[in-house]
């Protein structure tokens, strides 16, 4: 057992990849809603019915790697460095995940700029993004609490993760949505993260009408 993957799995991987690329290409070319499942299937030369043995839904072809991304973040949680506070650990995790919008087109597997743009501009995909995001935040918080239960109770973990990720996330989404260039977006998200870390008491001064 554990042989090198047979023809079956190699083929399946290839088809999967082809589907992702074909779909993305079509989405970019003619829009997400305007691209039909049948077209995607045709582009890869499989029957429309077979599409659903690769992806459960049309959306999934866009979000194929969200699980892997979460796994990577969860793995980072296990590598707390000596002398590091929990907050610093989470900060590292969040920074690492900020590649989200920052990574330049990564032929291999990354979020291409085209994908980011799609995700930000199609309402159905926006909603799904947020769903993924919040699920991830939840899992992160739970893992963080489990890993260091003496330092953080569950609510504190949620608050930590929610504030730390909420600030850069909404910043990034808003700026991406308005079409700001990715590097500016990334810088703004970093800045938002810093502000969240520092706490909010500093913001502003008493109102003198």
Partner DNA sequence: TGATTTTTTGCATCGGTTGCAATTTTCTGT
Partner DNA sequence: ACAGAAAATTGCAACCGATGCAAAAAATCA
Contact residues for its own copies, defined by CB under 8 A: 80-87, 89, 123, 126-128, 130-131, 133-134, 137-138, 141-142, 148, 151-152, 155-156, 158-171, 173-174, 177, 188, 191-201, 203-209
Q: How far is the CB of 144 from DNA (least distance, A)?
A: 33
Enumerate long-range contacts of 83-89, CB under 8 Å, 24 or more apart: 86/144, 86/148, 86/151, 86/152, 86/160, 87/160, 87/164, 87/197, 89/144
Please check whether residue 94 is in contact with residue 164, taking contact to mean a CB–CB distance below 8 angstroms. yes
- What is the C-alpha separation between 15 and 86, in angstroms, rounded? 42
Please check whether residue 59 is in contact with residue 68, taking contact to mean a CB–CB distance below 8 angstroms. no
> Among DNA, its own copies, none, what binds residue 134 when CB lies within 5 to 8 Å by partner kind?
its own copies
Decide: is 38 part of the binding site for DNA (CB under 7 A): yes
Return the range that interacts with DNA (CB under 7 A); candidates 32-40, 137-145, 148-156, 177-185: 32-40
- Candidate list 28, 43, 59, 80; residue touching DNA; CB under 7 A: 59
DSSP E strand boundaries for 43-117: none
Return the range that interacts with DNA (CB under 7 A); candidates 40-48, 89-97, 174-182, 201-209: 40-48
- Candidate list 17, 47, 149, 181; residue touching DNA; CB under 7 A: 47
- What is the C-alpha separation between 190 and 170, in angstroms, rounded? 12
Decide: is 195 part of the binding site for DNA (CB under 7 A): no
- Candidate list 13, 56, 114, 187; residue touching DNA; CB under 7 A: 56
């Amino acid at each position: 057992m554990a042989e090198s993957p047979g023809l079956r799995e190699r083929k399946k991987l290839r088809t999967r990849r082809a589907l992702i690329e074909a779909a993305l290409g079509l989405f970019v070319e003619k829009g997400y809603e305007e691209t039909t499942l049948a077209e995607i299937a045709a582009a890869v030369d499989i029957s429309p019915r077979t599409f659903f043995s690769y992806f459960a839904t049309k959306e999934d072809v866009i979000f194929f790697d969200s699980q892997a991304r979460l796994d990577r973040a969860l793995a980072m949680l296990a590598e707390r460095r000596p002398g590091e506070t929990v907050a610093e650990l989470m900060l590292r995790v969040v920074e690492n995940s900020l590649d989200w919008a920052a990574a330049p087109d990564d032929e291999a597997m990354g979020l291409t700029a085209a994908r980011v743009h799609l995700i930000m501009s199609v309402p159905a995909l926006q909603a799904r993004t947020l769903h993924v995001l919040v699920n991830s935040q939840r899992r992160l918080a739970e893992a963080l609490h489990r890993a260091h239960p003496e330092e953080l109770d569950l609510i504190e973990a949620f608050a930590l993760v929610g504030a730390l990720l909420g600030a850069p996330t909404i910043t990034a989404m808003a700026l991406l949505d308005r079409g700001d260039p990715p590097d500016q977006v990334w810088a703004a998200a970093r800045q938002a993260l810093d502000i969240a870390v520092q706490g909010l008491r500093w913001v502003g001064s008493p109102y003198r009408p």
